[in-house]
Amino acid sequence: MRIASRLLALVCLLPLAALAQEKVVKIGVLNDQSGLYTDLGGPGSVIAAKMAAEEFGNKVAGMPIEIVTADHQNKPDIGSSIATKWIDVDKVDAILDVPNSGVSLAIAKIVADKNKVFIDSGAATSDLTGKACTPNTVHWTYDTWALANGTGKEVVKAGGDTWFFLTADYAFGKALERDTTAVVQANGGKVLGSVLHPLNTPDFSSFLLQAQASKAKIIGLANAGGDTINSIKSASEFGIVQGGQKLAGLLVFISDVHALGLKTAQGLQLTTAFYWDHDDKTRAWSKKFAARHGGKMPTMVQAGVYAGVLHYLKAVQALKSDEDGKAVVDKMKAIPTDDPLFGKGSVRADGRTIHPMYLYEVKKPAESKGPWDYYKLIREIPADQAFRPLSQSDCPLITKK
Amino acid sequence: MNTVFGVPIQALFSQLLVGLINGSFYALLSLGLAVIFGLLNVINFCHGALYMLGALVAWLMLEHFGIGYWGALIIAPIAVGLFGALIERTMIKRIAGLDPLYGLLLTFGLALIIQGVARNYFGVSGEPYEIPPQLTGGRNLGFMFLPNYRAWVVLVSVLLCGSTWYVTERTRLGSYLRAATENPLLVQAFGINVPRMITITYALGVGLAALAGVMAAPIYRVNPLMGADLIIVVFAVVVIGGMGSIFGSILTGFGLGVIEGLTKVYYPEASSTVVFVIMAIVLLLKPAGLFGRTA
């Protein structure tokens, strides 16, 4: 009898407990889980987000943290409908990662309309913190301006003053070509021509022959993932580099270098926000990550998802609420960023996270001491020079002031 | 310098050659499809997945057993061919005689499963596979630099296409095969084991796909999506050439490779769609395809 009454009392308490638990901090990782950008973000980004949540004990300001994930298949319409459902039905508070500039621009708008939080790591277009900036967007890892400023400037300085672009035919490729062209011209270089290729092209030999015929000293690859891999591979086969022309990979991820192999990729210069073997902190985190991701080291995109979630949770903790997306992003801008992967930095008024960028060169096979030992540092680009200065910004949040 | 519509003739020659090289893969793959459709009446949608499997087997052999390209060129098609025979015996056979739609759905499902499993284990960036040392380098043709390996691909492709056409159209075995598709019961009455012949045909078609996969591995990386990227184009090739017409698919394969190559010069943005535009036009004017027989 006593037991029965206790049980009854417990049952009476249950709804209260449920009520108190109703608020969940829900983080949605939205990226390419099956196509050509899977390896640079994909399931690895989800692991990175989980690792950040675990550091908070999966709880922030008394609310449990839940991570959900979906595949946007690189299609803006699919990405948009997932984001809308996530926010309206599943009560997702923040959307993370979202590679593919086309999809990310669509998501940024939806998230702003619904006043949630968008922390992009995977997309490249500098428009996210430029003309398409919103009070709800944070762009964490890199952008086309930073890539152009890193690789583009360095290559022109080293004498590569005539360029021909192979450009992926969508928002990202065009933004990257535009930003790199600006850097090349500003440094006294000339762009001789470009060719727009469809996304996910299996064979680049035709385009490379056109680049070869242009006689440009530098062939700039304004593409990413599988497209970059295929361009570099075809170029080595067709003797482009032996012919005296040089390739400049404007966006190269470590997963691309891994797929190419050092023999093909050696000597390639690239700009990145993160390399696992940078210091003790990045090594320690990356080894933990690799242990959970089939031995694969994290890309800068996956690192950015981790750091983005960490900073988001700090802001939620400070506010003790995740309700008002703009307020959370304002808080993220107010508190300085500090994490083991990107170091100390800040989120700027336009949503751009400021941290150093690095110019690396891919090692020769003989220089590599083991698996994933791929890069050697050429130069660190200090945080205050790595990204587009606010004075050049076309972000309405900045220009309105 | 002489130009054709603003493009130097030399550049045009090299683009034609590059188109021919890509056409070799289209021809090899559509050949297998045509053989299978012609003799089994099955639209083999898992052809792309099996092509990928060929490349994957080659890579696995190198990684785990140290067997290089030349070994893979022989072993991988046999291994994948046997796998194909297994598929035919256990699954495709059960739907023989039904509407071709069933075969399409079955093989499409198989393709998704094979690709999904491969993607789960190997990711999408793919694994590097080196060109065999005997075929590295290339020669300068004056108007372009031709990598030796690509020349080898064209050579093998032409030889294989030629011999497959010869076997099905000019030999006794080929005549049995053709007869068996017309009237299996009658051919069986002559004492020929038709089910076994069908299994062999399917395995052969699949083996051709795997062989194309091994040949593609050094060019395109070994990558679980390599087949999915290609198969739709290859189907378009088969439809344009005429379903089941072996000669048609060979010729269309090479021809479309060249047309695609030219599109990459004059209007590169359309290079991934030009094949389908041609397909639509051909279907409007000649529904059975360029070389197809109207049923």
Residues B260/B271, Cβ–Cβ less than 8 Å:
yes
CB contact under 8 A, B271 and A206: yes
**Residue A233: closest CA among chain B residues belongs to which residue?**
B219
Question: Rounded to the nearest 5°, which phi and psi values hold at B3?
Answer: -130, 155
State the complex-level ipTM: 0.73
User: What is d(CA A299, CA A41) in angstroms, rounded to the nearest whole number?
Assistant: 7
User: What is d(CA B88, CA B40) in angstroms, rounded to the nearest whole number?
Assistant: 10
pLDDT above 70: residue A382? yes
Above pLDDT 90, what percent of chain A?
A: 74
Average pLDDT, chain A: 90
Averaged pLDDT, B203-228: 88
Signed CA dihedral, A75, A78, A81, A84: sign only: negative
Query: What three-state secondary structure class fits A97?
Result: strand
Is A295 part of the contact surface with chain B (CB cutoff 8 Å)?
no
Is A99 part of the contact surface with chain B (CB cutoff 8 Å)?
no
Q: For residue A401, name the pLDDT band (cuts at 50, 70, 90).
A: low
Give the tens place of pLDDT for each residue, B253-269: 999 999 988 888 888 88
Is A81 part of the contact surface with chain B (CB cutoff 8 Å)?
no
For A310, the token pair is 């960490």
User: What is d(CA A118, CA A134) in angstroms, rounded to the nearest whole number?
Assistant: 9
Give the tens place of pLDDT for each residue, B106-164: 999 999 999 989 888 887 777 778 888 888 878 777 777 788 888 899 999 999 989 98
Q: What is the reported pTM? A: 0.80
CA B63 from chain centre, in angstroms, equals: 25
Residues B125/A296, Cβ–Cβ less than 8 Å:
no
Give the tens place of pLDDT for each residue, A177-208: 999 999 999 999 999 999 999 888 878 888 99
Give the tens place of pLDDT for each residue, B32-50: 888 888 777 888 889 999 9
User: What is d(CA B195, CA B190) in angstroms, rounded to the nearest whole number?
Assistant: 14
CATH of domain A23-142+278-350: 3.40.50.2300
For A165, the token pair is 């672009």
> For chain B, which residues make up each domain, given as ranges?
3-124+138-285
CA B148 from chain centre, in angstroms, equals: 21
Which of B124, B220, B273 best tests the A interface by mutation, with the highest count of A CBs <10 A? B124
Signed CA dihedral, A386, A391, A393, A396: sign only: positive
Residues in chain B with CB shorter than 8 Å from the CB of A239 are: 138, 145, 147
- Where in chain A do CATH 3.40.50.2300 domains reside? 23-142+278-350, 145-272+357-381
Residues in chain A with CB shorter than 8 Å from the CB of B273 are: 198
CATH class for domain B3-124+138-285?
mainly alpha
Q: For residue A3, name the pLDDT band (cuts at 50, 70, 90).
A: low
Sorted by sequence, the CB contacts under 8 Å of residue A105 that are 6+ apart come out as: A76, A123, A125, A127, A128, A132, A171
Sorted by sequence, the CB contacts under 8 Å of residue A139 that are 6+ apart come out as: A120, A123, A128, A129, A351, A352, A353
Q: Which residue has the higher pLDDT, A345 or A263?
A: A345
Residues in chain A with CB shorter than 8 Å from the CB of B265 are: 206, 210
Query: A145-272+357-381 belongs to which homologous superfamily?
Result: Response regulator (3.40.50.2300)
Amino acid at B73: L
Q: What is the pLDDT of residue B220?
A: 80
Q: What DSSP character marks residue A160?
A: -
Sorted by sequence, the CB contacts under 8 Å of residue A20 that are 6+ apart come out as: none
Is A236 part of the contact surface with chain B (CB cutoff 8 Å)?
no
Averaged pLDDT, A144-150: 93
Residues A36/B221, Cβ–Cβ less than 8 Å:
no
Work out the number of other CB atoms within 10 angstroms of the CB of residue A370. 5
Q: What DSSP character marks residue B124?
A: S
Q: Which residue among B15, B223, B229 sits closest to A209, beta carbon to beta carbon?
A: B15
Which of A37, A199, A206 best tests the B interface by mutation, with the highest count of B CBs <10 A? A206
For A382, the token pair is 């200090």
Length of chain A: 401
pLDDT above 80: residue A284? yes
Question: Rounded to the nearest 5°, which phi and psi values hold at A376?
Answer: -125, 140
Helices B148-170 and B246-266 pack at an angle, to 10 degrees, of 150
Sorted by sequence, the CB contacts under 8 Å of residue B243 that are 6+ apart come out as: B34, B37, B38, B288, B289, B292
User: What is d(CA A45, CA A49) in angstroms, rounded to the nearest whole number?
Assistant: 6
